[in-house]
């Protein structure tokens, strides 16, 4: 019996889906394990209940269902996703994140039953793919005390590699997560600039540069002691060193 979870910011839409699920219960047995009206509540609820299938709206405040589907892929047991929406123009993007079906509101009971049965068959055969990143996202998902937390990219000041983790810094907090700086730079190069081989800085957070003490640029063992520069970031006292290689790039941003 598949375990289902509903995500929709509109209460009447959630009620409508629950009514339809009740109508098809005899021919399509299932267990509804939860519902949510916003993305963070959805992540928390889905992580806690481990549903097999998520019925997910596309248009929601703060984050689209398309982006939320990508974050769901980071869960230990990612669910299959069926989008339920009033907008047909998102269908192509939905399948780009490997949704298993796309239902248009108002949803008919027979159509919902067919979608659930097909997903059940695919999962039974091990054929249900998980979402993969495609378009530019607006949030990072980080682990905090066993919880998958959404951090808006617009709030991130820098990302710094330290051993096998990356430290993500906002004005008020630091988080650890496991994405590589290279993959982040490839995806979000328009938002972040590399200031050193181990650090990316938000372009909009840079307010200036200042001289540091003489140091050795460790990017090359042949580099000699030289005057160093540090980047000044909006809202925090911490300074990040700028490598000699990246200095021309950063300098151009603060002219």
Start and end residues for every CATH 3.40.50.2300 domain found in the chain: 3-124
| Long-range CB pairs of 105-110, under 8 A, 24+ apart, other chains included | 105/13, 105/16, 106/16, 107/16, 107/17, 107/20, 109/20, 109/23, 109/24
Q: Give SS3 for 136.
A: coil
The mean of the pLDDT values for the chain is 86
Instruction: Judge contact between 95 and 72, C-beta under 8 A.
Output: no
pLDDT at 165: 87
Residue range 156-253, CATH number: 2.40.50.1020
What digits encode the pLDDT tens for the residues 113-138?
Answer: 999 998 887 766 555 444 444 456 88
Any idea which of 6-10, 56-60, 146-150 has the lowest mean pLDDT? 146-150
What digits encode the pLDDT tens for the residues 50-61?
Answer: 999 999 999 888
Gap between the Cα atoms of 2 and 37, Å rounded: 21
In order of 53, 63, 127, 143, the CA distances from 36 in angstroms are 14, 13, 27, 20
Instruction: Judge contact between 232 and 208, C-beta under 8 A.
Output: yes
Any idea which of 82-96, 178-192, 240-254 has the lowest mean pLDDT? 82-96
CATH classification for the domain delimited by 3-124, as one of 3.40.640.10, 3.10.110.10, 3.40.50.2300, 3.40.50.720: 3.40.50.2300
Nearest to 181 by CA among 162, 206, 153: 162
Start and end residues for every CATH 2.40.50.1020 domain found in the chain: 156-253
CA torsion 243-248-249-253 (nearest 10°) is: 120
What digits encode the pLDDT tens for the residues 72-81?
Answer: 988 888 999 9
């Amino acid at each position: 019996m598949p375990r289902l979870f509903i995500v929709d910011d509109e209460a009447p839409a959630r009620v409508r889906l629950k009514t339809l699920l009740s109508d098809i219960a005899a021919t399509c047995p299932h267990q509804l394990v939860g519902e949510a009206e916003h993305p963070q509540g959805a992540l928390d609820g889905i992580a806690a209940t481990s549903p097999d299938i998520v019925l997910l709206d596309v248009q929601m405040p703060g984050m689209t269902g398309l982006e939320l589907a990508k974050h769901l892929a980071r869960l230990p047991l990612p669910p299959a996703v069926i989008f339920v929406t009033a907008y047909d123009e998102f269908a192509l993007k939905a399948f780009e994140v490997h949704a298993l079906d796309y239902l248009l509101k108002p949803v008919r009971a027979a159509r919902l039953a067919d979608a659930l049965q097909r997903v059940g068959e695919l999962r039974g055969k091990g054929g249900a793919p998980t979402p993969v990143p495609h378009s530019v996202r607006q949030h990072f998902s980080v682990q905090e005390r066993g919880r998958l937390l959404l951090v808006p990219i617009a709030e991130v000041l820098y990302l710094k590699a330290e051993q096998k983790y990356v430290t993500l810094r906002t004005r008020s907090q630091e988080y650890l997560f496991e994405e590589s700086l290279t993959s982040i730079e490839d995806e979000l190069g328009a938002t972040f600039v590399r200031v050193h081989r181990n650090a990316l800085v938000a372009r909009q957070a840079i307010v200036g540069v200042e001289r540091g003490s003489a140091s050795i640029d460790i990017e090359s063992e042949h580099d000699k002691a030289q005057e160093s520069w540090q980047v000044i970031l909006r809202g925090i006292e911490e300074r990040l060193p700028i490598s000699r290689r990246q200095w021309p790039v950063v300098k151009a941003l603060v002219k």
